[in-house]
A and B are shown apart, each in its own frame.
Chain A
């Protein structure tokens, strides 16, 4: 018997399958299937340059974080990035996004863009340091082509510049 996807049993121990849910939602709306990005081949592997306790971490979050005073992201395939200083508390960090519940993250942006927590983990000695600039971007982009051709190269250029300046040894990616 066919069961509407919104009546599926929920297993508390199994991750929510957002791909299956989106497929079912689009199908029910009569839309063609959403084309998720796929990479079936083995990803490239770059060893960690040092233990985490000796590594500077660059934070990159796609939850739509921007700093008050910066232009906010729009919701129609915004492939821009925002540079957010990490030395100050996250008081002036805002979030905007069309595809997740913004209420909790607007209470505390650290839950999608954990700059304060990373600074504390530097103090604890868990990580060696935090790159002075974090990168905010918009994870809701429907064009995989524009993500690959516009957003990804911009992030890579920023992170490699941080590496070359001795500011970052590893990138922490927090997608939303």
Chain B
């Protein structure tokens, strides 16, 4: 089964080395763009599929040339949260082993 990987984390994807990968320079959690911007999202996916069709070498990561406009200030944020940033250190969320519902209504709907 052929696969196409769409990633916003270049170094992590390079480390696991999938057969076909496409890279977008966007924040983690915004892999396909901003909320409610369907044309941006479609354009990004069109580029990913076109790039995947053109790949011939296993392990290729094609940069789709997609990023936010502006000065890249989100990268400063992405690179600065956490330890030593003034909030006391470890910013990672607790790894609880109960289902983490988005809404209370989801928990009820799931019979939980």
Contact = CB atoms under 8 A, between A and B. Distances in A.
Interface of A: 4-6, 8, 10-13, 15-21, 25, 28-29, 36-49, 51-52, 63, 66, 68-78, 94-102, 104-108, 110-112, 114, 116-118, 120-121, 124, 126-127, 142, 156, 159-160, 163, 168-176
29 contacts: A6-B79, A6-B84, A17-B11, A18-B9, A20-B11, A28-B83, A28-B84, A29-B90, A48-B52, A68-B103, A68-B105, A70-B110, A72-B99, A72-B110, A74-B98, A76-B97, A94-B102, A97-B29, A98-B94, A100-B27, A100-B29, A101-B27, A102-B102, A110-B35, A117-B45, A142-B95, A163-B1, A172-B48, A175-B12
Interface string B91-112: 0111111111111011101101
Could you say which interface size class chain B belongs to? 35 or more
B29 to A, nearest CB: 4
Contacts of B100: 72-75, 96, 98
Contact of A94 (B18, B83, B92, B101): B101
Chain A interface helix/strand/loop/mixed: loop
A46 B56 CA distance: 10
Interface centre among B5, B23, B49 (most CB of A within 10 A): B49
A10 B33 CA distance: 21
Main secondary structure of the interface of B (DSSP, over half): loop
Contacts of B45: 114, 117-118, 121, 126
A172 B7 CA distance: 11
A98 B29 contact: no
